[in-house]
Amino acid sequence: MRLELRGLTKKFGSFTADDDIDLTVEPGQIHAVLGENGAGKSTLMNMLYGILKPTSGEILIDGEPVEFSGPGDAIAAGIGMVHQHFKLVGPFSVADNVQLGREHTRGAGVLSARAARKAVRDVSEQYGLRLDPDAVCEDLPVGVQQRVEIVKALSGPKTELLILDEPTAVLTPAEIRELLDIMRSLADGGTSILFISHKLKEVQAVADTVTVIRRGKVVAELPPTASETEMASAMVGREVALTVEKTSAEPGEPRLEIEGLTFADRSGVKVLDGLDLTVRSGEIVGLAGVEGNGQTELARAILGLVHPDAGTMKIDGHRVHRSSPAQRIEQGLGYIPEDRGRDGLITEFTVAENIILNQYRDEPYSKNGVVDAAAIRKRAVDSIAEFDIRTQSPNEAAASLSGGNQQKVIIAREFSRARRLLVAAQPTRGVDVGATEFIHSRLVTERDTGTGVLLISSELDEIYALADRIAVIYNGRIVGEVAPDTPREVIGRLMVGADIETDTESTDEEANGGDREH
């Protein structure tokens, strides 16, 4: 399939989301589209997939103009799409989700489970996507759910163009590498791919060509060999610092003290198993580990969303076992959750309401139990400007924002009040390079003003860039604490359960040319 977009424009009232976009995707090409959060990338893809109708312009497939009244038309034309936010029905099986809308039947409209499972296995084997057709989707890791979405998109009658909208935003590094390999395999087999992203290294690794969109307009066409600095500058419209500038930390008194923290999930499995951790004022402690080793439960336990079975926890020297989340927030705890949709926002609420979500009882937003709408709006307007939240209005529902701008709403809320301890879980997940630069600088500022920062990130680059001390978690325990100049290989081995003393000794031997006796 050869796809052309000519002058594609989409307006929402007086707001122009995409303005006169020209773009061509050649057969078997991975065409990356880079842009900031809110640049118009998802809107463009939704027009191509028939979810939105263009205000003007045209879409051509193999030189012929087409019009889509809905996703069904796009699918029939050979276009599949994996959305930024998955469209899976959680309680359904993999096979049920893949056949949804194009059900396999036998006889008088009776669903054929055998045919649905076979379809999943056939597509999985063809493209090297390992899936269990009978697995329940809500029980699967995020990376496997991503695979389900791809199989679902490729299960159309003749999928020749696959749209991947921010597909790596919620994946671990290992899952990202696997996805990039899958993309290259698909392209080698003749499938065209539109890869929507703001992650520069991934674009460089897999794309054949790059289009950069800024505020709804195409501003650059670049080869994948372009430098990260060149790509970032084209996206943001200014020079972007890709490294974090910070002075040496000056740790003070403990802000967070955890000893022997133990917590078992509903099935009785210990997800936190005697965990010990201290975070002091004026330092950033990076928590490194493969996702699923207790990071989520640790963050939720610190906030008070789950109650440990054993162990002690102190914030600023005070035991907090019986404290509610609201009480801990009042004591100066800030929290950036890893899952913004579940724990960070009420998406039906407006941007303004979400920005004061944990302060609505406080002055000036409430007086004598009466909400002050003017004060809330002023706070929202100021935060939108300071944190560059791309929204049409403070009264716009958070659900209508891009994922990155939803994250900025949470960042604005947590960075705009006094804190003594900040738990930042995946703080830059789904945000562009400009916003990442801003968030990183603010985390360093938090540290320098005396806040203790616990940074939980699946990206080692982020841990290395920000952490003054790195704690490695494995199977619910801290298996080692190392300096930020520790080789990646050492941290990588600790992340999969190596013993820190043995690993350090072997590293010393390697540095000294092998066995010390020689």
- pLDDT tens track for 50-95: 999 999 999 999 999 999 999 889 988 999 888 877 788 989 999 9
pLDDT at 146 over 90: no
CA 88, 94, 99, 104 torsion-angle sign? negative
CB 89 within 8 A of CB 96: yes
- Give the number of domains in the chain: 3
State which of 417, 436, 466 marks the end of a domain: 417
Range of the domain at 271: 241-332+418-518
SS3 at position 8:
strand
Residue-wise over 12-38: b if at least 16 C-beta within 10 A, else e? eeeebbbbebebebeebbbbbbbbbbb
Locate 29 and state its tokens. 């090409």
Q: Which of 360, 405, 361 is nearest to 383 (CA)?
A: 405
Cα–Cα dist 104/119, whole Å: 9
Span 254-275, pLDDT tens digits:
999 999 999 998 888 899 999 9
Whether 284 shows a pLDDT value over 70: the answer reads yes
Task: Examine the fold and report which residue of 236, 268, 288 is the final residue of a domain before the chain moves on.
Answer: 236
Mean pLDDT, residues 271-295: 93
Confidence of residue 333 (pLDDT cuts 50, 70, 90): very high
DSSP code of 136? B
Please state, as a whole number, how many other Cβ atoms lie within 10 Å of the Cβ of residue 496.
12
Q: Are residues 159 and 285 in the same domain?
A: no
Last residue of a domain, one of 417, 436, 461: 417
Residue, of 346 and 170, whose pLDDT is higher: 346
pLDDT tens per residue, range 402-424: 878 898 999 999 988 878 999 99
Do 65 and 99 fall within a single domain? yes
- Mean of pLDDT values over 475-492: 91
The Cα–Cα gap between 374 and 220 comes to 41
Percent with pLDDT over 70 in the chain? 93
**CATH code at 147?**
3.40.50.300
- Whether 65 and 205 share a structural domain: yes
- Do 162 and 226 lie in one domain? The reply is yes
| Confidence at residue 514, expressed as pLDDT on a 0 to 100 scale | 47
Report the pLDDT averaged over residues 205-227.
Answer: 94
Q: Verify that 279 and 184 share a domain, yes or no.
A: no
What confidence category does residue 109 fall into, taking pLDDT thresholds of 50, 70 and 90?
low
Q: How many CA atoms lie within 13 A of 378 on its CB side?
A: 6
Q: Please determine, for residue 510, whether its predicted confidence score (pLDDT) is greater than 50.
A: no
CA distance 168 to 191: 19
Find the angle CA(432)-CA(489)-CA(337) to the nearest 5 degrees.
35
164 and 312 together in one domain: no
Q: Which position has the token pair 């050979």?
A: 78
Structure tokens at 461: 């680059």
Token duo for residue 98: 């893949």
* CA–CA dist 464, 103 (Å, integer): 48
Note the helical H segments in 228-294: 228-236
Q: Is the pTM of this model over 0.85?
A: no
115: Cβ–Cβ under 8 A, 6 or more apart, which residues? 104, 106
- Give 432-453 as a DSSP string: -HHHHHHHHHHHHHHHHTT-EE
Q: What is the pLDDT of residue 101?
A: 72
Residue 260's region, left for phi above 0, alpha for psi from -120 to 50, else beta, is left
Q: Report the 10 Å Cβ neighbour count for 461.
A: 11
Q: DSSP 3-state assignment of 410?
A: helix
Same-domain status, 317 and 351:
no
Same domain, 263 and 181: no
Do 51 and 127 lie in one domain? The reply is: yes
* Domain shared by 358 and 408, yes or no: yes
Residues 404 and 459 reside in one and the same domain: no
Q: What is the pLDDT of residue 368?
A: 84
Q: Are 375 and 255 contained in the same domain?
A: no
Give the residue with greater pLDDT, 488 vs 479: 479
* pLDDT confidence tier of residue 398, bands split at 50, 70 and 90: very high
pLDDT value for 119:
83
